[in-house]
Amino acid sequence: MPSKSQLAVALSKLKGFDKPKDALEQYRTDGDTAADLLHKAQLIDGIEGKRVADLGAGTGILGIGCLQLGASHVTFVEIDEEAITLLEENLAPFAQDRREIIHGGVQHVQADIVVMNPPFGVQRTHADRPFLLAAFSSAPIIYSLHLAGSEGFLDALCNEHGYARTHTWDYELQLARSMKHHRQRTHRTAAIGVRLERRQPL
Ligand code: SAH
């Protein structure tokens, strides 16, 4: 099993978006953030042997990290065909029977754990809402990245759907520098990684 730093190095080498699309809020998670979040998931829930869904998979860094940590199967859901071409290249080293790509909008996928870095709603407020709803329908455990300050929105939505936020970690994400509305070449944004858990029925 790779260590956190080995995982970060391996994930940093994956292909990212060629020409990130503003409207889809395409920004890849960097290798260090992905490795840190997945390492936490490995310690808390164990990724090994689990079925994982990566919603809005992009070029696949989160789901591929799960494959490297021993997930039995990962389903990648992605709407953009160009991203899927790169995702397929990144997935080439992994056995076909451990992975599946669904080309389509975010949707229910039966899984043990969801991992996702959904659109933050920089373009559209709460663009992450449909991702969270799909995640709730898919798995009892969710690891997800959101804009810092989303806690109130997350907790309200979780509460409505029988989930609770059990962990929150601070990250700084570098949004795609190609996004036209960003003046600087690099744009760092305060983000949070959260673990959401389905509450046991009383
Ligand atoms: N998970 C990747 C990509 C994050 S960017 C990573 O962590 O690097 C968000 C991704 O969601 C993009 O690839 C975008 O194309 C995809 N996306 C946006 N709206 C979507 C939708 N409605 N259904 C499925 N994927 C969507």
Mean pLDDT of the chain: 93
Instruction: Quickly state the pLDDT bin for 187 (edges 50, 70, 90).
Output: confident
C-alpha–C-alpha distance, residues 139 and 174, integer Å: 28
- What is residue 37's three-state secondary structure? helix
Query: What pLDDT does 121 receive?
Result: 77
- Cα torsion 33, 76, 136, 48: sign: negative
CB of 191 within 6 A of ligand 1: the answer is no
- Quote the crossing angle between the two packed helices 4-12 and 61-68, to the nearest 10°: 140
C-alpha–C-alpha distance, residues 141 and 148, integer Å: 20
Instruction: Quickly state the pLDDT bin for 22 (edges 50, 70, 90).
Output: confident
Give distance in angstroms: CA of 49 to centre of ligand 1.
25
Give distance in angstroms: CA of 97 to centre of ligand 1.
23
C-alpha–C-alpha distance, residues 4 and 24, integer Å: 29
Each residue's pLDDT tens digit, 153-168? 999 999 999 999 999 9
Each residue's pLDDT tens digit, 2-11? 999 999 999 9
pLDDT over 90 percentage in the chain: 85
CB of 42 within 6 A of ligand 1: the answer is no
Contact in structure between 144 and 132 (CB atoms under 8 Å): yes
Each residue's pLDDT tens digit, 45-61? 999 999 999 999 999 99
Each residue's pLDDT tens digit, 97-108? 999 999 999 999
CB of 49 within 6 A of ligand 1: the answer is no
Instruction: Quickly state the pLDDT bin for 200 (edges 50, 70, 90).
Output: confident
pTM for the complete prediction?
Answer: 0.95
CB of 84 within 6 A of ligand 1: the answer is no
CB of 101 within 6 A of ligand 1: the answer is no
Residue 122 has pLDDT above 70, yes or no: no
Residue 89 has pLDDT above 80, yes or no: yes
Query: What pLDDT does 143 receive?
Result: 98
- Rounded to an integer, the average pLDDT of 128-140 is 97
C-alpha–C-alpha distance, residues 176 and 186, integer Å: 7
Residue 66 has pLDDT above 80, yes or no: yes
b/e for 179-195, b at 16 or more Cβ within 10 A? beeeeeeebeeebbbbb
- Rounded to an integer, the average pLDDT of 166-189 is 75
pLDDT over 70 percentage in the chain: 92
Q: Nearest C-alpha to atom 1 of ligand 1 is from which residue?
A: 57
Report the nearest atom of ligand 1 relative to the CA of 58.
Answer: 13
